Amino acid sequence: ARSNDPNHVFSVSSLLPGAACTASKASSNSSALSVVHRHGPCSPMHASGDAGAPSHAEILERDQARVNSIHRKVSAAGGASVIDPARASKQGVSLPAQRGISLGTGNYIVSVGLGTPAKQYAVVFDTGSDLSWVQCKPCGDCYEQQDPLFDPVQSLTYATVACGAQECQELDAQSCSSDNKCRYEVVYGDQSQTDGNLVRDTLTLSPSDKLPGFVFGCGDSNTGLFGHADGLLGLGREKVSLPSQGAPSYGPGFTYCLPSSSSGTGYLSFGGAAPANAQFTAMVTNRDTPSFYYLNLVGIKVGGRAVKIPTTVFAAAGGTVIDSGTVITRLPPRAYSALRSAFARYMGQYKRAPKLSILDTCYDFTGHKTAQIPTVELAFAGGTTMNLEFSGVLYVANVSQACLAFASTGDDTS
Amino acid sequence: IGILGNTQQKTFAVAYDVANQRIGFGAKGCS
């Protein structure tokens, strides 16, 4: 779109992502990791033949599972700890359990080094959970992953975390094995789970950026929808998260950019200055769900015009969480309904297409050389606005099925 | 609750300024 143009005009032939990987770079004065889509051509899993790439419908269905999981966690006001009696009994130790949110599949991958000498691991990064983990040797129950398992014996700087250590005590729940090792368990909302020892070792973000003594989970029993990822990088707000542990070196913040298509690359950086053109809104804390980053969404514009939504609609819904792992933005029903109607008014010249899973406002651009859609702008407390890129407005399954990339949180009374 | 998902975040530099308790969005952040 041209600057200040209320429409995105695009070539229909460019709707689908390329088959080859393209690169971009982060600012040079930060510790930056390349971010790629888990199932795109830039992913190391793609290079090794990622036969398990899900369909668009599957991605969206799993996205709904993640959202349901977030809602359950919020409803439970703090996410009560859950102990799996069968597992605890089997292993002879009462394992701590922390119910996290569902992983879904719309996740992005970064590559980090662990141990000394450092070996590289491709991990999902997630702003919706805190504990980082990788699969470790020896492993009782590990899924097939991209790289060889992390082997503590091969690292000169590896150490287990003792049960009495502060890091162990600060987990939401913790327990102790018979040899005084701190055991963790995270059960995600889709029943995926990881169990293992809480350990520490050197985390390498770049050749010149190392975090000695980084605390993470050394998973020895991991099952569920992890794909072939080597593990997970937790970027939530609690003390065990990477941003919290890296705060003494980089400050407590971080910045990422997600690429416009699955064939592009973005970055995740620590310690760099915020971009000069950034507009800020308040980061809100909810003490019942302290891992999540909340902000206040207050309005929406379509085609440059404000959609009529009472501002109380957003607040009454319980606020808005920003999440790197949820694919599709969820809006309170009244807000979504108003957005959908406004968007559809601009799209009358295009043929409607069948709904795609949770996306109910879809169009068929077959036969068009170029097309246009209205811009969509999100407004946050304090006057901050996000004028979404084209890729943030339409979810393109194919030329004959491109959908408004928003959904409703669902019936509040359900 | 509402959720701001990753599709809408694409191409923005999303800055988590924890020290100042604010979140920033910079357009065309990947380039």
Predicted confidence (pLDDT) per residue in A96-122, tens digit? 555 666 666 667 889 999 999 999 999
The predicted-structure confidence for B4-30, as pLDDT tens digits, reads as follows: 999 999 999 999 999 999 999 999 998
The predicted-structure confidence for A28-57, as pLDDT tens digits, reads as follows: 556 789 998 888 888 877 665 555 678 899
pLDDT number for residue A99? 62
Asked if A386 lies within 8 A of B22 by C-beta distance, the reply is no
Supply the DSSP symbol for A14.
G
Q: Is A252 on the interface with B (CB under 8 A)?
A: yes
Indicate which residue of A63, A126, A209, A220 is catalytic.
Answer: A126
CB–CB of A127/A321 below 8 Å? no
Is A126 among the catalytic positions?
Answer: yes
The predicted-structure confidence for A274-292, as pLDDT tens digits, reads as follows: 899 999 999 999 988 999 9
Which residues lie across from A331 on neighbouring strands?
Answer: A408
Q: Is A278 on the interface with B (CB under 8 A)?
A: yes
* Predicted complex: ipTM over 0.90: yes
Max intra-chain CA distance, chain B: 32
What mean pLDDT is predicted for residues A161-188? Answer: 88
pLDDT number for residue A9? 93
Distance from CA of B20 to the nearest CA of A (A): 8
pLDDT number for residue A1? 42
Residue A150 has pLDDT above 80, yes or no: yes
User: How many CB atoms lie under 10 A from the CB of residue A111?
Assistant: 17
pLDDT number for residue A2? 46
pLDDT band of residue A239 (cuts 50, 70, 90) is very high
At residue A153, the 3 state secondary structure works out as helix
pLDDT number for residue A308? 95
Closest CA to A274 of B9, B10, B26: B26
Residue A77 has pLDDT above 60, yes or no: no
pLDDT band of residue A224 (cuts 50, 70, 90) is confident
pLDDT number for residue A158? 98
How far is Cα of residue A213 from the mean position of the Cα atoms in its chain?
25
The predicted-structure confidence for A290-320, as pLDDT tens digits, reads as follows: 999 999 999 999 999 999 999 889 988 889 9
On the CB side of A398, how many CA atoms lie within 13 Å of its CA?
7
User: How many CB atoms lie under 10 A from the CB of residue A78?
Assistant: 13
Burial, A361: exposed, middle or buried (Cβ in 10 Å; 0-12, 13-18, 19+)?
buried
Residue A15 has pLDDT above 70, yes or no: yes
B26: its two tokens: 């910079």
CB–CB of A218/A182 below 8 Å? no
Encoded amino acid at A301, one letter: K
Task: Look at A30 and A27; give whichever has higher pLDDT.
Answer: A30
Nearest to A253 among B19, B30, B31 (CB): B19
Residue A164 has pLDDT above 70, yes or no: yes
Nearest to A297 among B2, B15, B19 (CB): B2
pLDDT number for residue B31? 73
Asked if A391 lies within 8 A of B11 by C-beta distance, the reply is yes
Mutation target vs B (from A37, A322, A391, A404; most B CBs, 10 A cutoff): A322
Q: Please provide the distance, in angstroms rounded to a whole number, between the alpha carbons at the two ends of chain A.
A: 39
pLDDT band of residue A84 (cuts 50, 70, 90) is very low
- For residues A345 and A18, give the distance between their C-alpha atoms in angstroms, rounded to a whole number: 31
pLDDT number for residue A46? 67
- For residues A9 and B12, give the distance between their C-alpha atoms in angstroms, rounded to a whole number: 19
What mean pLDDT is predicted for residues A363-377? Answer: 97
Phi, psi at residue A323, to the nearest 5°?
-140, 130
What mean pLDDT is predicted for residues A367-383? Answer: 96
Closest CA to A332 of A346, A353, A318: A318
Average model confidence (pLDDT) across chain A:
86
pLDDT number for residue A184? 94
What mean pLDDT is predicted for residues A356-381? Answer: 96
Pairing of strands A175-176, A159-160: unpaired
pLDDT number for residue A391? 92
Asked if A323 lies within 8 A of B15 by C-beta distance, the reply is no
